[in-house]
Amino acid sequence: MALSLVPCPLCFFLFVLLPFFTNAQTYSNISLGLSLTAQNDNSQWVSPSGDFAFGFQQIDNDGYLLAIWFNKVPDRTIVWSANRNNLVQSGSKVQLTTDGQLLLNDQSGTQIWNANSVAAGVSYAAMLDTGNFVLANEDSDILWESFDQPTDTILPTQTMDQGGELVARYSETNFSHGRFKFTLQSDGNLLLYTRRYPLDTSNVAYWSTITSIGSGYRVTFNQSGYVSLIARNGSLLNYVFSVAVSTQNFYQRATIDHDGVFRLYVYPKNVTSSGGKWPMAWTTSSFIPSNICIRIMGETGSGACGFNSYCRLGDDQRPKCHCPPGYTFSDPKDVSKGCRQNFVAQNCDTASQETDLFEFREMFNADWPLIDFESFKSVNEDWCRQACLSDCYCAVAIFRDGNCWKKQIPLANGRSDSSTGGKALIKIRKDNSTSVASSGSKKKDQSTLIITGSVFLGISIFLNGLLLVANLMFSHRSSQQKSKTVHPHSHQGNLAMNPRSFTYNELEVATRVFKEELGSGAFGTVYKGVLGSENTEFVAVKKLGKVVTVTEGEKEFESELSSIGRTNHKNLVKLLGFCNEKQNRLLVYEYMSNGCLANFLFGDSRLEWFRRTQIAFGVARGLSYLHEECSTQIIHCDVKPQNILLDETLTARISDFGLAKLLKTDQSRTFTAIRGTKGYVAPEWFKSMPITAKVDVYSFGILLLELICCRRNFEMDLKEENVMILADWAYDCYKEGKVHLLVEDDEEAMSDMKRVEKFVMVAIWCIQEDPSLRPAMKKVVLMLEGAVHVPIPPDPASFISIS
Ligand SMILES: *[C@@H]1O[C@H](CO)[C@@H](O)[C@H](O)[C@H]1NC(C)=O
Ligand SMILES: *[C@@H]1O[C@H](CO)[C@@H](O)[C@H](O)[C@H]1NC(C)=O
Ligand SMILES: *[C@@H]1O[C@H](CO)[C@@H](O)[C@H](O)[C@H]1NC(C)=O
Ligand SMILES: *[C@@H]1O[C@H](CO)[C@@H](O)[C@H](O)[C@H]1NC(C)=O
Ligand SMILES: *[C@@H]1O[C@H](CO)[C@@H](O)[C@H](O)[C@H]1NC(C)=O
Ligand SMILES: *[C@@H]1O[C@H](CO)[C@@H](O)[C@H](O)[C@H]1NC(C)=O
C-alpha cells in the first residue's frame, strides 16, 4: 500500500477538528447511578486522555450502537460494542445502577444487554486510556471489563484466552455477526474460520498457526505492536503480526474485517510522530491470510465471496467479489449474497436442440474448486467445450493441462488468481447476452489473422531495426504495433501487484542468514527462505552479484523490477519482492519445489513424454506472454533448461526473465554472461545484428529438441560425430525421414510419432539462422497445439550471413 505525504491543508483541518472531539467531558470515575441516553450522538464517557469513549453511536438511520471508539480519530472508529446484533432506538439508556449493574435498556425499558457481572461490590466504572471499559470495586480490582468480551477488534494490552473469539461484522456498515471469525480454540489452536452463517458454528479454517495442538494459551497484543500466541508457561509460540510500530506514536488495532481478513491497522497520533510518512488515516500494516481468495476452500459454503461469484485480490490487496460474465449480483448492495444467472438456464428436456443457443465466455486463471460433478483426463479443449455444451447441468467447464472439469450451479469457492492457471469456460445463452456474439470458429480465424499480422510487422520491424538501430541491443516493439495487437490475456495485468520491498534484515531472517543454497547462476546465488506470520510461505531469495549492482541507479532498478513484478502468467515464476539497500540487491521469488528442468531431462529420472509435451507448451506460452502480452516487451535472453523451473504439479515456470535488461548498460558483460550458456545462443549475438525476441525463439528451439530427445544439445562423449550436436542431427534425421531415431528408446514417444515429428519441425523452424524466418512465440504455441499447420522447414543453416 502506498503511503503518501499528507497534504498540509488536511493536517491543518485535522488539528482544527480534533479539539471538537476532545471537548467532551472526561470522566475518570463513573459513579453508580449515572446513565447515558441515546440521542444525537452526544452521550459518551471519555477516557482521561480523551483517546477512547464509551457511549452511543448512531449507525446510519438504523439505530444506535452502545460502543467504545477511538475518540480522536475523525471517523470515531468503533472497537467494541454491546448490541451489535440488536441496534436500539433513540431514547434507549445505558445505566450503571446503584447496585452496580451495567444495563442497556431500549426506549420502552426492555433490557437489551447487561454486563453480566458479579454486580456485588462494584463501586464505579471507568473508561480507561487503553480502550478498556471496566467495572471495579472500592479497591479498584476489576470485576468486569470489555476487553474480556471482544467483538471484532483487539487493542494493545488486550489479551484473548482459550475459547475467545472475534467475529467479523456483516458488512462495512452493518455491525451484526458476519461470516468470519478469529478464534483461539479451547484445544489451543489459533484459527481463522468461515462461520456457518447465520449460525455461529465454524465451517472452513483458512488460516491457522502451526503449533502443536493444545499448546496455544493466550493471544497477546503488546505495547510494541506485536500480536503473538503464547503458551501457558509464557513462551512465545507464534507471531500473528510482528511489525513493530510503537503505541506511543500510533493508535493500533487488530480487526477481523467483514471480508474475512484479519488486519493490523495503525493511525498516527499526530503528523510529526510519523515523520510525515503515514497518512492521517487507518493504514493496514499487516494482514492474514495473504490471499483469502485462494485460501478458503470448503466442501460446504460459498468461499470468500457468495455463491456463483468469484474473489480476486484488488490492487489494494483487498479481496473483491465479482460476477462471471453472464451473471449479475443478486443484491448489488450486498455482494456477499452472490450472483445469479442473467439468462434462462438450459432446458434439460431439449438439451440436444438447445446446444446451439449457448456459447462460452473465457476467463483465464479462474476456478471454482471442489464442486465438480464430472472430470475427464487427457482431452482437448474442444472436447471439453462440447461436453459442457451438451450437458444441461454444466454451467462452467474448467480446462487445464488436458483436464476438463464440469461444474454445476451454485458455483462455490470462486477465485481468480494467476496461481490457478487454466481456463474457465462460462456457459451462457447467446440470445440475450450483452456483448458481441462470436462463435468459437470465428474467434480462431481472427486470432490467426492477428498472428499473421504480427509476423509481418515483426519482419518489417526487424528490417527497420537492421538499418537504423544496428547497435541497439534491446529493441522494443513500437507503441504503434502494440496498439494494433490484441492481447487476449491483458486483463491479467490488472491482477498483478507491484513487488514488495524488503529490508536486507528481513531477508536475512527469512533465509536464516543465507543458510540453504538452492543454486547459483549468471546473476547470483539463490537461497531458500520462508516468509509470513504463518512461516509457511517458502520463497527463493536471489542475491544479485556485482555485475548487476554496479550498473543501474536505484530508480531504474526499481522500475525495472516493477515491470517484472507486473507480469502475471502461470508459466512464469512470480517475483514477490526485492531488497535494494546500497550494495545489497536481492530478489524474492516464489519457491519452486521441483527445481529446474535440467535435472529431469539429463539426470537419471526422466520425465515421461506426456509431461515433456506439457512443459514444451508451458514454456512456449510463457515466452509468448513475455514477448507479446506484457505492457513492456520482455526478452529473456537466456532460455535454457536451468532457467525453467517446475512447480509442485510439474508445470513449467520460466525464471530469471527481465534480468538481462538490468545488465544493459554494460554490454560486454552481457556478452560474457550470455556466452556462458553456449548452445542456446542465437547466431545474431555473435554478429552485429539487433537483438530481438527472436533470440528467445532460437533458444526455445534448442530446448524443444532437448525436451524431445532428453539429451543435451552438445554431447562430447558420443562416438559418432554427426550425433554430437543435437540441432544438426535432428535436422539430418528429419531430412532423411528418420525422426524416430531421435526417440528410439522412448516407448511412449515412439507411439506418438506424429506429434514427435511435428515438434521436431517446429524446433527446426525456431533454430533458423535467419531470425526473420523464425516464427514468433505466439505462432510457435499455435503450431505446437496443432491449431495451425506446420510447413516444411528449410535447412536452418541456409541463411547467408550479411555481416
Ligand atoms: C476512582 O474510584 C476509586 C474507588 O473509589 C478510587 O480509589 C480512585 O482513586 C478513583 N480514581 C480517580 C481517578 O478518581
Ligand atoms: C445486517 O445484516 C443482516 C444480515 O443480512 C440483516 O439481517 C440485518 O437486518 C442488517 N442490519 C442492519 C442494521 O441493516
Ligand atoms: C513452554 O511450553 C511450550 C509448549 O507447551 C514448550 O514447547 C516450551 O518448551 C515450554 N518452555 C518452558 C521454558 O517451559
Ligand atoms: C512485544 O513482543 C515482542 C516480541 O515478543 C518483544 O520483542 C517486545 O519487546 C515486546 N514489547 C513489549 C513492550 O513488551
Ligand atoms: C507529536 O509527536 C511528537 C514526536 O513523537 C511528540 O514529541 C509530540 O509531543 C506529539 N504531539 C502531540 C500533540 O501529541
Ligand atoms: C435474458 O432473458 C431473461 C429472461 O427473459 C431476462 O430475465 C434477463 O434479464 C435477460 N438478460 C439480459 C442480459 O438481457
Choosing from 429, 459, 483, the residue where a domain stops is 429
Helices within 291-419 (DSSP H only): 292-295, 351-354, 381-389
Q: Which of 672, 668, 665, 675 is nearest to 549 (CA)?
A: 665
DSSP state of 592: -
Q: How far is the CA of 29 from the centre of ligand 1 (A)?
A: 6
Can you name the residues that pair with 44 across neighbouring β-strands?
55
Whether residue 279 lies inside any domain: the answer is: yes
Per-residue model confidence (pLDDT) at position 550: 44
| Reduced 3-state DSSP string for 312-341 | EECCCCCEEEECCCCEEECCCCCHHHCEEE
CA-closest residue to ligand 3 atom 1: 233
Q: Is 543 annotated as a binding residue?
A: yes
Question: Span 109-136, mean pLDDT?
Answer: 90
Query: Which of the listed residues 64, 78, 86, 170 should we mutate to test ligand 2's pocket, taking the one with most ligand atoms within 8 A of CB?
Result: 170
Residue ending a domain, choose from 101, 117, 146: 146
C-alpha grid cell, residue 106: 431500549
Distance (Å) of CA 572 to CA 560, 569, 631, 647: 16, 5, 15, 10
Whether the per-residue pLDDT at 347 is higher than 90: the answer is no
Residue by residue, DSSP assigns 541-555 as: EEEE-HHHHTT--HH
- Is residue 606's pLDDT more than 70? yes
**In this structure, are 653 and 750 located in the same domain?**
yes
Give tens-digit pLDDT for 7-26.
333 333 333 333 333 334 45
Question: Using CA positions, which residue lies closest to atom 14 of ligand 3?
Answer: 233
Does 629 lie in the same domain as 535?
no
CA atoms within 13 A of residue 567's CA, in its CB half-sphere = 33
- Residue whose C-alpha is closest to residue 289's, from 204, 391, 219: 204
- pLDDT beyond 60 at 478: no
Atom 11 of ligand 2, nearest CA residue = 174
Alpha-helical (H) ranges within 602-666 are 609-628, 659-662
Tell me how far the alpha carbon of residue 215 lies from the centroid of ligand 3, in angstroms. Answer: 8
**Of the ranges 419-423, 540-544, 599-603, which one carries the lowest mean pLDDT score?**
599-603
Q: Taking residues 28-35, what's their average pLDDT?
A: 90
Q: Answer yes or no: is the C-beta of 31 below 6 A from any ligand 1 atom.
A: no
Give the nearest ligand 3 atom to 232 CA: 2
**What backbone phi and psi angles, to 5 degrees, belong to 98?**
-65, -25
Entry pTM? 0.58
**CATH code of the domain covering residue 251:** 2.90.10.10
Q: Are residues 237 and 157 in the same domain?
A: yes
pLDDT at 485: 31
Confidence of residue 258 (pLDDT cuts 50, 70, 90): very high
Q: How many CB atoms lie within 10 A of CB 278?
A: 21
Q: Is ligand 3 within 6 A of the CB of residue 231?
A: yes
| Candidate from 86-90, 326-330, 605-609 with smallest mean pLDDT | 605-609
Distance CA(565)–CA(507), nearest Å, equals 18
In a domain, 107, yes or no: yes
488 cis-preceded (ω within 30 degrees of 0):
no
Q: Are residues 672 and 755 in the same domain?
A: yes
Rg of the chain taking only CA atoms, in angstroms? 31
Q: Which of 566, 413, 550, 401 minimizes the C-alpha distance to 492?
A: 566
**Residue-level pLDDT at 493:** 32
pLDDT tens digits, one per residue of 359-391: 999 999 999 998 899 999 999 999 999 999 999
Q: Which range, 3-12, 433-442, 540-549, 702-711, is most confident?
A: 702-711
Supply the CATH number for residue 634's domain: 1.10.510.10
Position 417 pLDDT exceeds 50: yes
111 and 166 share one domain: no
> Which ligand ends up closest to the CA of 238?
4
Grid cell, residue 290, equals 495473504
Q: From ligand 6's centre to the CA of 335, what distance in Å?
A: 20
230 and 364 belong to one structural domain: no
Same domain? 142 vs 154: no
Q: Which residue minimizes the CA distance to atom 6 of ligand 2?
A: 176
Q: What is the pLDDT of residue 560?
A: 76
Mean pLDDT for the chain overall: 81
From 405, 429, 453, give the residue that closes a domain.
429
Give catalytic residues, as residue numbers: 638
Atom 4 (ligand 1): residue with closest C-alpha?
A: 138
| Closest residue to atom 3 of ligand 4, CA basis | 226
* Pocket test residue of 176, 179, 199 for ligand 2, highest count of atoms within 8 A of CB: 176
Contact, 133 vs 145, CB < 8 A?
yes
Sorted by sequence, the CB contacts under 8 Å of residue 181 that are 6+ apart come out as 165, 166, 167, 168, 192, 193, 195, 202, 256
Ligand 1 atom, smallest distance to 126 CA: 1
pLDDT at 466 over 80: no
765, 775 in Cβ contact below 8 A? yes
What whole-number distance in Å separates Cα of residue 454 and Cα of residue 776? Answer: 8
Domain assignment present for 556: yes
**Minimum CA distance residue for ligand 6 atom 2:** 343
In the chain, % of residues over pLDDT 70: 80
Contact 235 CB / ligand 3 (< 6 Å) = yes
Residue 508 has pLDDT above 60, yes or no: yes
State whether 398 and 508 are in the same domain: no
140 lines ligand 1 (CB under 6 A): yes
State yes or no: pLDDT of 437 exceeds 60.
no
Residue 177 has pLDDT above 80, yes or no: yes
Q: What is the mean pLDDT of residues 718-742?
A: 85
Q: Tell me, in angstroms, the distance from the centre of ligand 5 to residue 43's CA.
A: 29
Choose the weakest-confidence range: 167-171, 295-299, 418-422, 465-469: 465-469
Tell me whether residue 711 is in a domain: yes
Nearest of 723, 716, 797, 722 to residue 764 by alpha carbon: 797
Mutate to test the pocket of ligand 4, among 157, 159, 218, 222 (most ligand atoms within 8 A of CB): 222
Q: How far is CA 624 from the centre of its chain?
A: 22
Strands (DSSP E) along 704-760, which ranges?
Answer: none
Determine the average pLDDT of the residues in 266-276.
Answer: 74
Contact at 8 Å (CB) between 166 and 149?
no
Evaluate whether 682 touches 699 at the Cβ level (below 8 Å).
yes
Between the CA of 138 and the centroid of ligand 1 the distance, in Å, is 8
Co-location of 315 and 281 in the same domain: no
Is 507's pLDDT higher than 50? yes
Q: How far apart are CA 433 and CA 523, in angstroms?
A: 51
- Name the closest ligand to CA 32: 1
Query: Is position 477 within any domain?
Result: no
pLDDT score of 434 more than 70: no
Ligand 3 lined by 233 (C-beta under 6 Å):
yes
Whether ligand 1 lies within 6 angstroms of the CB of 137 is answered as no
**Each residue of 641-691: pLDDT tens digit?**
989 999 888 889 999 888 776 644 333 334 433 433 457 888 777 676 778
**Is position 492 within any domain?**
no
| Omega prior to 775 cis, within 30 of 0 | no
Cα-to-centroid distance, 328 and ligand 6 (Å)? 11
Q: Is 451 within the bounds of a domain?
A: no
* Cell 506470520, residue located: 533
**Which atom in ligand 2 lies closest to the alpha carbon of residue 174?**
1
Atom from ligand 3 closest to the CA of residue 211: 4
Query: For residues 484 and 479, what is the distance between their CA atoms, to the nearest angstrom?
Result: 9
Task: List pLDDT tens digits, range 322-343.
Answer: 999 999 999 999 999 999 999 9
Residues 655 and 738 in one domain: yes
CA angle 558, 561, 564 (to 5 degrees): 160
pLDDT band for position 578 (cuts 50, 70, 90): confident
More confident residue, 506 or 775: 775
| Exposure of 754 in the CB half-sphere (CA atoms within 13 A) | 3
**Which ligand sits closest to the CA of 176?**
2
Predicted confidence (pLDDT) at residue 624 exceeds the cutoff of 90: yes
User: Residue 504 is part of which domain span?
Assistant: 500-590
Distance from residue 214's CA to the centre of ligand 3 (Å): 12
For residue 29 the three cell numbers come to 470515575
Ligand 3, pocket-test mutation among 217, 228, 235, 236, most atoms within 8 A of CB: 235
Q: What is the pLDDT of residue 477?
A: 32
Counting from 1 in the atom list of ligand 1, the atom nearest the Cα of 137 is 4
**Cell of residue 126, nine digits:** 471507568
792 vs 765: CA distance, rounded Å: 9
How many separate domains does the chain show?
5
Determine, yes or no, domain membership for 686.
yes
Which residue's CA is the nearest one to ligand 4's atom 13? 223
Same domain (yes/no): 108, 155:
no
- Residues 608 and 736 grouped into a single domain: yes
The 124-127 sheet, strands edge to edge: 30-31, 124-127, 133-136, 142-145
685 C-beta closer than 6 A to ligand 6: no
pLDDT of residue 66: 96
Q: Is 87 in the pocket of ligand 2 (CB under 6 A)?
A: yes
The pLDDT, as a whole number, for residue 319 is 96
In this structure, what CATH number is given to the domain that contains residue 573? 3.30.200.20
> Do residues 635 and 474 lie in contact, with contact meaning Cβ atoms separated by under 8 Å?
yes
Rounded to an integer, the average pLDDT of 696-715 is 91
SS3 276: coil
